[in-house]
Structure 1
Amino acid sequence: MKLKTQNQEQVRQKTGQAALIAVMLMLIIMLSAIFGASSVALKEAKVAEENKKSKLSFFAAEAGLEDAVYRLKRGKIVSSSFSILLNGATSNTTVTSAGGRRDVYSEGDLAGNVRALNAALLNSDGVSFYYGVQVGDGGLEMSNNSTINGNVFSNGSIVGSNGTIITGDAIVAGGINTNPSLEWAIQNSDNFFATATGNRDITQSFIANATNKLNKVAVYLGKVGNPTSNITLRINTDNGNKPSTTSIASATIQYTSVGLTPGWIGVALPSPPNITNGTKYWIVLDYGSNSASNYWNWRKDSSDNYLNNTGKYTSNCCSGNPVWTNVGGDLAFQAWIGGVNTKIDGLTIGNASSGTGRANLFVNTTIHGSACPNQYCIVENPAREEMPISAGLIQDWKDAAATGGICVQPQCDALGNLFLSNGASANLGPIKINGNLTLSNNATLTVTGVIWVAGNINVSNNCNVRLSPSYGSLSGMIVTDGTVRVSNNCVFSGSGTTGSYIMLLSAKNAPTSDVIEVNNNATGVIYYASNGRIEFENNAAAKEAVAYGIDMENGATITYETGLANINFSSGPSGGWDINSWQETLPQ
């Protein structure tokens, strides 16, 4: 009996031990499951937190990139580097320039989680040069065997002597007086239009002060953002103190000719209408679309003091029954009524099988192999051609140069002058030089962005001026507020890509003075001086010359290239920055 009791006790002990072991195993399994689940949850929480930080880093990088791109596209000031703090993440953004390209790199960082984006933007201003020489009202004077290989258009007379030749065609427009016949030039306030459907079109009235042909008008116009369609300028008759829907003349304002900086945009009327003294007419700017970010600015005088005249806007100027609303002022404009006689005098145009001349009058001129008059000496009053680059666009280029800073010591001297000589070389641009720019004795200047020279430019003695290869097919320029003198075998060249050129532009306002002088075999450059004269002498050559007036001496030659008909200049904001690429990239 005692033995049986002991056996039963042993069985109970073994059973209890087994149960305890089972419970412990179950507990271990449950704890393992709990710890496993907790570990997964903790890992997932950590991953989620890292993902959140990564996304916040991405958003910060994107914010920096978008800010830089927005500023470039809207023509606002953008620093070469800046930082933004967003939701605890920091973005560091850099903007680098290479000719007509801007590369934007933005890196967002939150607690070591780094994301990066980059974007490339391309910019260009289209300018059309259709003639080897285009001359304003100052006219073209040619002497001593000078030659233009190409076509010539001049708003003033062309006068030649001593074997002067134009190998293509020559056109002299009917002249106009130096000053406008009437104007309201006060502009003290912005007046935006084409911002919405209701103000796509805009107009300003004037009352003619003479009976004659209306040859030219000008409007004080700028752009906001990057509108990419041309404006049709119309001259409409009056209908009860508002424009009628009848246009008596029209012309096109190329959108690429208008800068972000407002300025006078001259418009020659291809078929000048006859207008009557004392009669009211309307200058209408007809634009076919609207945008909240890309629109136009016709500056106005908010005092509205132009007697019996005013500015108005509407949704559709020229069909149906438009409703016009006052703009609250007078829009700045100029008008030239009537004109002066012009001529082609004393030169040869073309050869025995080519060449045509068009002008009011021909004197001592041979065209198509025989003396005028003949069928190729066409007596008419050709319409004017205005300068292809506006003052506003030139100011935009200056502003683009200034974004690169001012040339200081040791690159420039204490007075802000830059000298390169005796084989020295430099890469320059975008930059502003407050003094003079002088290159001589085999010096080489590589242009990497727009250069603005506040003083004068003097290049001589086998110097080389060329664009950086980064310009690609785009062209570049050096702009000066002073004069330019080029001599003794200086060579100018583009980027190395076909269609790339360099332009020397003088913005000096001196219509009767030589603001650019070129002599002694200087080659390969476009010269531009819309408010002054250019003088070529001693076998100087150029790809293109545009000026208020031009003088050619002593065998000077200008050879036009057909590729100049549509040339794109790398510039600042005025051409509008287009996004070429936008993508995430590896952090640097």
Structure 2
Amino acid sequence: MINQKGQAFIFGIVAIGVVMVSTLLTIAGAQLFYQNSGYSLEAEKATALAEAGLDKAVASLNASGGSYTGEAETNFGDGSYSVDITTKDAATKIINATGFLPTKTNPRVKRTVQIEASKGTGVSFKYGVQVGEGGFELGNDNTVKGTIYSNGNIIAGNNNTIEGDAWVAGGPQPSPNQETDCTGVNCQPFDFGKNVGGENRLDVAQSFKLSQGNILNKVSIKVKKIGSPTSDPMVRILKDVGGIPDKDRVLATGTLFNNLLTSAFCCFIDVTFNTTPSLNANETYWLMVDTCGTQTNCNSADYWSWQNDQAASYTVGVPKWSPRWNAGSPSWTGFVGDLSFKIYLGGVQTKISTGNNSKVKKDVHANTIEGV
């Protein structure tokens, strides 16, 4: 006779054990999911804190002209962030921002985000709108939360508020006074910033004459980069002495930022200057690009090229190169062609004009101010 009662008891114990194990596994899985969800949420918060540090760093670099060096720890929301700034080259900063929860000293979670920030041309401001030569127009009942910087007129209707500053730059003439370019097979590269076939072409210049006198606004040149040059070339306007640039009479200086250049002759690159000298008509001036400063050699793998019109279609100027433009007795060597450039002069009057009950809460900068 088989003992059914003993077997039923054993099966009952096994069944209860299976249920208990399943229950414990379910509880453990739920707890693990909860912990992972909490960690993921904190990781997202730490990343957001790091991105807030990046935003603070970029704004501070703009506001300080590039002198901002970072910060050890700044409390923000549920945690904190730190910012570390290192210099990659003359135009580029590497920004590392780390977010911590709850603190940098005792973090449960931390996340780091890195970007490279490069300088550009123009005016820097924290918030608002930047527009080109077409200007900026507002209808009625609008609010701009920040600063407006415009190369053209600012025109506003009634009941508008600009909570920051309003800047209206003096516009350049719509067309260049002097320019030259090339087409087809006449377009050839003129490499500089290194030794080319025994020629130490560190500095290169193109002479020009204006058809009318006026103040200099900007220049545009068609230059590309080869490799990864680290130093930004300096662009200068010089007077002429004996058919070469006069090293003792530099009229204006600007920067050709490498981050604006590509590896192809895609377009003209604008360069603005630290001063706006008045230039005379029918007088020879030189547009010069200086690549190595006081050095006598650049990196031969990283250099620049200026588009050269070998048809030499510009009849009132010539190109030349030099191993060092500001040497005691600089030597300049001419070559066939004309380097692609444009010279823009100032003189277009700009303004800010508003209707009734419109206001700028901070400062207004314009040639003509109407209604504000």
| Unpaired segments ≥5 residues, structure 2 | 1-113
> What is the Cα deviation at residue 247 of structure 1?
0.6
**8 Å Cα contact 1:139/1:156 also seen in 2:** yes
What is the alpha-carbon distance in structure 2 between the residues aligned to residue 134 and residue 247 of structure 1? 31
Asked if residue 244 in structure 1 is aligned to residue 246 in structure 2, the reply is yes
The 8 Å contact of residues 210 and 337 in structure 1, kept in 2 or not, is answered as no
| Deviation of the 1:338 alpha carbon | 3.5
State the match for 2:360 in structure 1: 349
Shift of 1:318: 2.7
What SS does the corresponding residue of 1:303 show, helix, strand or coil? Answer: coil
SS of corresponding position for 1:256: helix
Scaled by the length of structure 2, the TM-score of the pair is 0.61
Which of 235, 253, 262 is 1:259 aligned to? 262
Inter-partner Cα distance in structure 1 for 2:202 and 2:136: 41
Letter in 2 for 1:202: V
Q: How does 1:271-350 map to 2 (within 5 A)?
A: 271-288=275-292, 290-346=298-354, 347-350=358-361
In the alignment, the residues of structure 2 paired with residue 165 and residue 231 of structure 1 have an alpha-carbon distance, to the nearest angstrom, of 41
Q: Could you tell me whether the CA contact under 8 Å between 2:145 and 2:163 is conserved in 1?
A: yes
CA distance in structure 1 between the partners assigned to 2:302 and 2:171 by the alignment: 36
Are residues 1:359 and 2:359 paired? Answer: no
Q: In 2, are the aligned partners of 1:203 and 1:312 still within 8 Å (CA)?
A: yes
Matched with 2:225 is 223
User: 1:123, CA displacement in angstroms?
Assistant: 9.4
**1:136-170 CA deviation, whole Å, 9 max, x = no partner?**
11001112222222222111111112222222222
Q: Which amino acid aligns with 1:164?
A: N
Distance 1:125 1:189, change over 3 A: farther
Give the greater-gyration-radius structure (CA). 1
> How far did 1:211 drift?
1.2
Aligned-pair CA distance for 1:308: 3.8
Give me the whole-angstrom Cα distance separating, in 2, the residues matched to 1:124 and 1:176. 32
In structure 1, the partner of 2:272 is: 268
Q: Identity over the aligned pairs, expressed in percent?
A: 32
Counterparts of 1:19-34 in structure 2, within 5 Å, are: none
Q: Superposition RMSD on alpha carbons, in Å?
A: 2.0
Mapped to 2, the partners of 1:334 and 1:274 lie a distance apart of 17
After TM superposition, give the deviation of residue 301 of structure 1 in Å: 0.2
Residue pair 1:342, 1:359 contacting (<8 A) in 2 also: yes
Q: Is the 8 A contact 1:125 1:256 kept in 2?
A: no
Structure 2 residue identity aligned to 1:315: P
Query: Taking structure 1 as reference, are residues 163 and 331 closer, same or farther at Cα in structure 2, changes over 3 Å only?
Result: same
Q: Which residue of 2 aligns with 1:145?
A: 141
- Report the TM-score when normalising by structure 1: 0.39
> Equivalents in 2 of 1:137, 1:182: separation in Å?
20
Instruction: Note if contact 1:127-1:257 (Cα within 8 Å) is conserved in structure 2.
Output: no
Change (3 A) 1:200 1:174: same
Q: Residues 149 and 304 (structure 1 numbering): CA distance in 2 closer, same or farther, change over 3 Å?
A: same
Change (3 A) 1:309 1:359: same
Instruction: Please list, as runs of the form range in 1=range in 2, the aligned pairs for 1:4-15 lying within 5 A after superposition.
Output: none
Please give the alpha-carbon distance, in whole angstroms, between the structure 2 residues aligned to 1:237 and 1:291: 29
1:130 aligns with 2:124: yes
- How far off is 1:305 after superposition? 3.0
Is contact 2:256-2:271 (8 Å) kept? yes
Displacement after TM superposition at 1:239 (Å): 0.8
Question: Contact conserved, 2:205 with 2:320, CA < 8 A, in 1?
Answer: yes
Residue 192 of structure 1: aligned partner: 191
Shift of 1:224: 0.6
After superposition, the C-alpha distances for 1:165-209 in whole angstroms (9 at most, x for unaligned) are 222222111112221111112261111110238211110010111
C-alpha separation in 2, matches of 1:295 and 1:180:
28
